[in-house]
Amino acid sequence: MIGVLYVSHGSRIKEATDEAISFIESVKKKIDIPLQEICFLELAQPDIQQGVKKLIDNGATEISVIPVLLLSAGHYFKDIPNEIDEIKKSYPEVTFTYGEPLGVQPRLTAILKARIEETNVSLKEDAKLLVVGRGSYNPQTQIDISVIGNALNETTEFKNVEVCYLAACEPSFEDALQRALQAEHSQIFIAPYLWFTGVLERHIEKTVKEHNTKSDIIVCEHLGHHPSIQEALKDRVLETLTTQKV
């Protein structure tokens, strides 16, 4: 019997964990598989081992592991596979397949564009857009975020688009924001490429509040529960049914 295990990042903030669970529950309803469980890589319960055990206890003999991640980075390449490799030693009779993160997709970039439009703020000629990624030591992260920034440069009316990061990559969000303020853009739009709320989103809001400036700083909503990202995760689940074993 097939089981699906959704592995979300996890957060110390209950609101973030609740949002992730609510989102995944909405996707589970779109998947015609009776055994589906949610777990977290860190900072929240149940963990991966607990999620796997529950599926197996309920009869799963094949488990599709779905990383609830936007981009390919350390969690995808190392942390989750390492956990699964350890778990497989205890359940050699169970087959595991491993899905992919959502990656760069036009329908996801379109959500960022929609989040900008939802602010209902009319764009001024010198408006600047900061696309803010989580950041990673994996070089693919910068490639992916740059592709997203270029797409927004082409599909929006912004004449000045810059990508920046909350950790591990340069330029940092703080430095990019400071440069934008020094350049005296009348408007600075901040578009976080983050799936759920949490520590990083609060950091963006806190950093913005620390600046007294004549510039109008507009912080857009994170990706959240948009129907397009629900469909994207659903597609990743369906793809694992033909994925090779990890």
Q: In this predicted structure, what is the pLDDT of residue 242?
A: 65
Residues 95 and 132 in one domain: no
102-134 residue pLDDT tens:
999 999 999 999 999 999 999 999 999 999 999
How high is the mean pLDDT of the chain? 95
| Count of other CB atoms within 10 angstroms of residue 225 | 13
Q: In this predicted structure, what is the pLDDT of residue 243?
A: 54
Residues 92 and 131 in one domain: no
DSSP bridge partners of 36: 4
Look-up: residue for tokens 């900061």?
A: 130
Single-letter amino acid, residue 164: C
Concatenate the DSSP letters of all residues of 65-120 into one string. Answer: EEE--SS-SHIIIIIHHHHHHHHHHH-TTSEEEE-----S-HHHHHHHHHHHHTT-
pLDDT at 10 exceeding the cut of 80: yes
Domain that holds residue 123: 106-219
* Count of domains for the chain: 2
pLDDT at 160 exceeding the cut of 70: yes
Q: In this predicted structure, what is the pLDDT of residue 246?
A: 44
Residues 203 and 122 in one domain: yes
Residues 198 and 177 in one domain: yes
Inter-axis angle of helices 80-90 and 48-57, nearest 10: 40
189-240 residue pLDDT tens:
999 999 999 999 999 999 999 988 889 999 999 999 999 999 999 999 999 9
49-83 residue pLDDT tens:
999 999 999 999 999 999 999 998 889 999 999 99
Residues 45 and 68 in one domain: yes
